[in-house]
Structure 1
Amino acid sequence: MKNVNDFERVSLGFFPTPLESLPGLSNELGIALQIKRDDYTGFGGGGNKVRKLEYLMAEACRNGVNVVITTGGHQSNHARMVAAAARKFNMRPVLVLRGNPPASYQGNLLLDRLFGAELEFLDPDDYFTLIDGAMQAHADRAQARGEKPMIIPLGGATPLGALGYVRAVEEMDAQRKALGLPDPDVLVAPTGSGGTLAGLYVGARRYWPNTRIVGISVSAKAPWFQERISRMAQECADLLQWPQRWQPEAIWIEDDYVGQAYGIPSEGGIEAIYRAAQAEGVLLDPVYTGKAMHGLISLVEKQQIAPDSSVIFIHCGGSPALYPFASQILEH
């Protein structure tokens, strides 16, 4: 069997990120709540995708890539960090984004421009039928110019990228042991493309076999994620030669907290942003972590997460996305 250190990766983030107790929210909710501060990974504005990109960019460097192509929504943290990582390794970033051309460039879109990414915008209604062809067209044009392109899928959600969150579980396990704490009862994380959840499932099966993992969907319905994450987790475990298996129904996904649609703030998500800010001084965002915290709070209130449980919330970053939605947040 292998471990995550057997795979080549580049150094991008600042690890280990803190595992911080949240006493205010813990007292309000009646649980022992910690937050894994992957908003502090640092590189390119920080966030969970740094862990995945350490492995994916190592592959790009090894293969002599000089054009990196990826996709996401207008306020995609992943797209922003791919652009930053491409520049760090002297590659040209191309971002094909879901949404119409914006009236102004704020939040992650501003950072995409600062990193000098080439941007293409796809009509949101036709995005899923157009995206594969659009990214491949950029790759074909790069090849025709004599360049070496690489397409990184939505969210960096690949078995190789998921190794980053196997490492994160190892990291949290060491941190809790240093504090004399047992394995947590529950891990909660937002899920938008599935790669983070897949890595958490693989890592937890090995280190915390009795810990339950819940993904709060910010985009798709539960069955899509269950199929996708179980398959990706299996392929990640196969890379490690770990004898682990999952059925789709074993993947716990809550899909009641998306709101109107992906990338559109929800009322419950905005409430959770205010609550975390005023109880703990922690900044969440309206696209990912605000909705995930809304889900966590609701599951505790419905006692689907039992009273007195020890819970870790995975903070995936994303605070740049606060600013484009300032008027909606303040109106709330």
Structure 2
Amino acid sequence: MNKIRYERRRYTAGPTPIEKLERLSQVLGGPTISIKRDDQLGLTVGGNKTRKLEYLVADALRQGADTLITCGAVQSNHCRLTLAAAVREGLKCQLVLTEPVDGYNPQANGNHLLFHLLGVEKIEVIPAGGDTQPVMEKLAQELADQGRKAYLIPVGGSNEVGSLGYMACAEEIEQQSWESGTVYDYVVTASGSAGTQAGLLAGFLARQSDIKVIGVNVSRDRAAQEAKVLDLFASTAEMIGLRGEIRPESVRCDDRFVGPGYAIPTEEMIEAVKLVAQTEGILLDPVYSGKAMAGLIGMIREGRFANENHVLFLHTGGSPALYTVPQLFIPERS
């Protein structure tokens, strides 16, 4: 047995709640919708990366690391939470950020502000589309030359170790389903670096669950995203010795709600963020959960689900990004 599945830090006091979205379900006139509030996970402002970091940071500590190095966009939720985990553990943290298409603003609000408030040790900014891995490796070597030890975490925390966080989440959902007597037919989630969707698939497979997982893409086309999720799903299952058939058809991704590209707003996303805020008082974000909810709304409107289905939407967090795009949500004065 691979014991890595049991080597975990704890950053959240207990299971995140599942709430029925009764008003949203009524407005859409489709299946019953519930929401898994992973925006309420522990560490600064919460979000799905916290689950991955519980395993990644445990691995870093086991290896004797004193510094976490990771990468992402200027408004990366993953970078915010990795830094918060480092603070919690008394470690240092360095970030490699990719410059946005409209240029890097060192005074940017949102997550970028929080990087500085949380005490990031170093930020390295590279051009948009640049390769972050060699830059992270260079930073790690510089630390090694100083007698320090870095632990590199991939974008989104999405490798086999990080995916264990969402294997644990799948087990948590199954337990909550049993306790409430609610049978979930589908889980819908944003799909980007693939660790959340791959972990859920591995977790439901381990539990022999019939819940179907649908990923709503935030960047790639469907074929590329499904291949990425399937590869991580299979390697995660192999790492822990999961015995079960890895069926490619179980990997379902929808690329119709990406719009022009990653982190680029769409009208469907704006509608979804406003609708959930104004029916349920819950904040989504413009990059991940907003587009994932736009996908769920679109699928409901096209009749993808039966009225008797129960759909669980996984809220991956990220609300600080809302404060970087107020122009999308504040009406102009006439």
**Whole-angstrom distance in 1 between the partners of 2:64 and 2:321:** 32
Which residue of the partner structure matches residue 222 of structure 1? 222
> What SS class does the counterpart of residue 34 from structure 2 fall into?
strand
Question: In structure 1, what is the Cα distance between the partners aligned to 2:265 and 2:323?
Answer: 12
Mapped contact 1:75–1:107 kept (Cα < 8 A): yes
Q: Spell out, residue by residue over 1:14-49, the C-alpha distance to the aligned partner (whole angstroms, 9 max, x if none).
A: 320001111011122221111000000131220111
Deviation at 1:284, TM superposition (A): 0.4
In the alignment, what sits opposite 1:25?
A: 24
Aligned match of 2:8: 9
* Structure-2 residue corresponding to 1:104: 107
Partner of 2:56: 56
Superposed CA deviations along residues 147-203 of structure 1, whole A, max 9, x for unmatched, are 101110000001111111111111111111111222x11110001100000011111
Judged with a 3 Å threshold, the aligned counterparts in structure 2 of structure 1 residues 105 and 328 are, in CA distance, closer, same or farther, namely: same
SS at match of 2:261: coil
Amino acid paired to 1:142? L
| Aligned 8 A contact 1:300 1:307 in 2 | no
1:3–1:189: structure 2 CA closer, same or farther, 3 Å change rule?
Answer: farther
Residue 87 of structure 2 corresponds to residue 87 of structure 1: yes
Q: TM-score, normalised by structure 2?
A: 0.93
Matching residue of 2:138: 137
Structure 2 residue ranges without an equivalent (≥5): none
**Offset from partner CA, 1:43-64 (integer Å, 9 cap, x none):** 1220111111000000111111
Matches within 5 A, 1:138-177: 138-177=139-178
What amino acid is the match of 1:151? L
Q: Distance in 2 between matches of 1:187 and 1:3?
A: 28
TM-score (norm 1): 0.94
Output aligned runs, 1:189-228, within 5 Å. Answer: 189-207=189-207, 209-228=209-228
Partner Cα distance (1:27, 1:17) in 2: 24
The equivalent of 1:120 in structure 2 is: 124
2: CA distance, partners of 1:103 / 1:154: 21
Q: Deviations over 1:249-303 (max 9, x none)?
A: 5411111111222122221101100000011111101011010000000011112
> Within 2, Cα distance between the matches of 1:331 and 1:237?
48
Distance between the aligned counterparts of 2:133 and 2:81, measured in 1? 20
Instruction: Report the counterpart of residue 76 of structure 1 in structure 2.
Output: 76
Could you list the runs of 4 or more consecutive aligned residues of structure 1 that deviate by over 4 angstroms after TM superposition? Answer: 1-4
* Pairwise CA distance, 1:73: 1.1
In 2 relative to 1, CA 98–249 (structure 1 residues): closer, same or farther, beyond 3 Å?
farther
Q: 1:187 to 1:3 in 2, by over 3 A?
A: farther
SS where residue 20 of structure 1 aligns? strand
Matches of 2:14 and 2:263, distance apart in 1? 28
The residue identity in structure 2 corresponding to 1:70 is T
Partner amino acid, structure 2, of 1:220: R
Alpha-carbon separation, structure 1, partners of 2:201 and 2:3: 15
Deviations along 1:179-236, one digit per CA (max 9) or x if unpaired, are 1222x11110001100000011111223363221110111111222212211211122
Supply the RMSD in Å over aligned alpha carbons: 1.7
Distance (whole Å) between structure 1 residues aligned to residue 175 and residue 222 of structure 2: 31
Residue identity in the other structure for 2:176? Q
* Residue matched to 1:285: 285
Aligned equivalents of 2:109, 2:11: Cα separation in 1: 24
Secondary structure class of the residue paired with 1:330:
coil
Aligned pair count reads 327
Does the CA contact (< 8 Å) of 1:226 and 1:249 recur in 2?
no
Percent sequence identity over aligned pairs: 38
The answer as to whether partners of 2:78 and 2:156 remain within 8 angstroms in 1 is yes
For the Cα contact (< 8 Å) 1:2–1:242, is it kept in 2?
Answer: no
